Chain A
């Protein structure tokens, strides 16, 4: 039982990342009708916002300490980050420690801008082009983005730890009445799950309860009519693209303490996120979130030893197997609408 709860938690945690990426992808597809293969790259860029902020905060004054030597035997250089020099060592160290949560503030404007620039600069020209062209051009863009990141940050993963407060784990089992030490769960993963819930709720209420969101939803349903009503729907869709990019970026920022980011992590998530979107049903926001959590949980269960001993290698293929089964039994995914992307 405790194992099942543990894997449930793992599944929710993985599902949070899948759901956030799929949510952004669906926002773009639902509003603009564009299949964005660069969405994984946006997730990756979000992660690198955290890395960049960490680097910026660690910009240092270099002083030479003659009493110590570096690996070549030359006098060692001692680096003191500017923030520590400005705010005092303790405050400075605390700011650096909190660089990942702080990166949220940093990432939002950056990602909104990248999303806006992408839509105005490139995607705009592809609305009338076939989906295959959209896939190819955004795929090309994804390669370019990740290669640019590689030129700056190298190929190796870069550690970006969570603040000290959230390091380590706590006994979740005891809180819900199990024996001690049965269900241990890391703080940060819980934070990640909560965070994703907040974002999902935020996006849904934004679409449901604001006038802006209402217009966007109307535009998703019937773009032409909304346009004929004299509403500049294009502009709003551009903003939605920025929002989608920001959602992917924030998912990336908060993911960095879970796995050290590297330049090709976007590609690792790309195929998966498409599977999630398709399983959820193209264009359906609740479908994307539901499918994200569903696949996350199934993936976690498939890696349980009890299941692997019956079906060896099942954890290698579970995601794809589920996708095949769902697509064959529910032709448009879990919550897809008729006629979307079937031509």
Chain B
């Protein structure tokens, strides 16, 4: 189906099911219980997981296949967001023109940066991309304020032109009248599930992005990119020029980042300069490696894990902890709460750091390797294509 073999079709179908069922999967606990704190099935987080999933899938096309480690992909995310918000301001609150322009602009940007940066390889390439992203960030924050609105971020205003929108058009990003913020809640006993238009838009696009990346991985082009990674010299001896292939991969992954940026702006029409900071570029690296670089599903899992941690752990404050451990005797309760409070609330960065270290040390292939190991333990053959092959040669 769709140019895929049977196994890949099955794989794609599983991914589709998982994505569409996210509102259930991320909301496993009943409301009102202590565990409800860990529910993540609200629109904003689900959207972010899908969007950063797209970002990481795109990043993986470059990094997982060719091994070129870019620290500058945040710049494309930012360019995508700014383009989309400008479209909302000038043309229409319909997200389609915004997303299209986001992809075009980030593609052009990626072509420029990629053309220059790909003249070098290894860490020199990484530093070049990092330098470009930091330059974009610094300029967007200060000198380019007329375009980017600097510190505050570019926002839509009721006074915007919006040439294509009629008088009755919604003043919130929408897809032909369906506003992105519309949600339906389904209460099933004590459980509550939220179905959000914006999330499903992101989910459908994420599935398409995933399908495209699957095709790229399986295509002769993907094979070329792997050749770039394993041995560029041998590749050039056979008369093939690796440059165009790498540049194409760079631009494609840049456009994925732009798409993610455009979607971020569509879900929440604000584009801040922080999106271009190198730490965001570093975050996608972390997501990809955490999930498993070079695997198809890994980056998405990594994106989900990081975003979940960021949004859920940072909200567990001391009073929440007290309510959990109130059954303990007073002195012990305080001690336990104190201990946990080091890792949650304002200590969530510490948990993040420890998690990175643990994964990198013990699971070099990321969460995907962890999954494969568990499956191997239970006597079932791991899906070598998706996890094993890449685990053997972690990307560099």
Contacts and interface: CB of A to CB of B under 8 A. Distances in A.
A133 interface: yes
B364 interface: yes
B104 interface: no
A323 B139 contact: no
Contacts, number: 120
B361 interface: yes
Q: Interface majority SS on B: helix, strand, loop or mixed?
A: helix
A331 B350 contact: no
B121 A140 contact: no
A266 to B, nearest CB: 13
A136 B347 contact: no
For the complex, would chain A's binding face be called helix, strand, loop or mixed by DSSP majority?
helix
Contact of A125 (B289, B342, B361): B361
Interface string B182-223: 000000000000000000000000000000000000000000
B245 to A, nearest CB: 17
A140 B116 CA distance: 30
Given A151-B342, A316-B139, A132 B69 contact: yes
Given A139-B356, A140-B356, A271 B128 contact: no
B120 interface: yes
A70 interface: no
B127 interface: yes
B121 A317 contact: no
Given A144-B353, A343-B396, A327 B278 contact: no
Contacts of A148: 350
A45 interface: no
B138 A316 contact: yes
A274 B278 CA distance: 13
Contacts of B132: 320, 324
A interface residue count range (under 10 / 10 to 19 / 20 to 34 / 35 or more): 35 or more
Nearest to A130: B396
A143 B282 CA distance: 13
Interface in A326-341: 327-328, 331-333, 341
Contacts of A140: 353-357, 360
B128 A143 contact: no
A61 B354 CA distance: 38
Contacts of A341: 122-124
Interface of A: 35, 122, 125, 129-133, 136-137, 139-144, 147-148, 151, 271, 274-275, 278, 282, 312-313, 316-317, 319-321, 323-324, 327-328, 331-333, 341-343
Given A35-B123, A324-B116, 7 more contacts: A133-B364, A136-B289, A143-B356, A144-B353, A271-B130, A317-B138, A323-B131
5 contacts: A140-B353, A275-B127, A324-B116, A328-B116, A343-B121
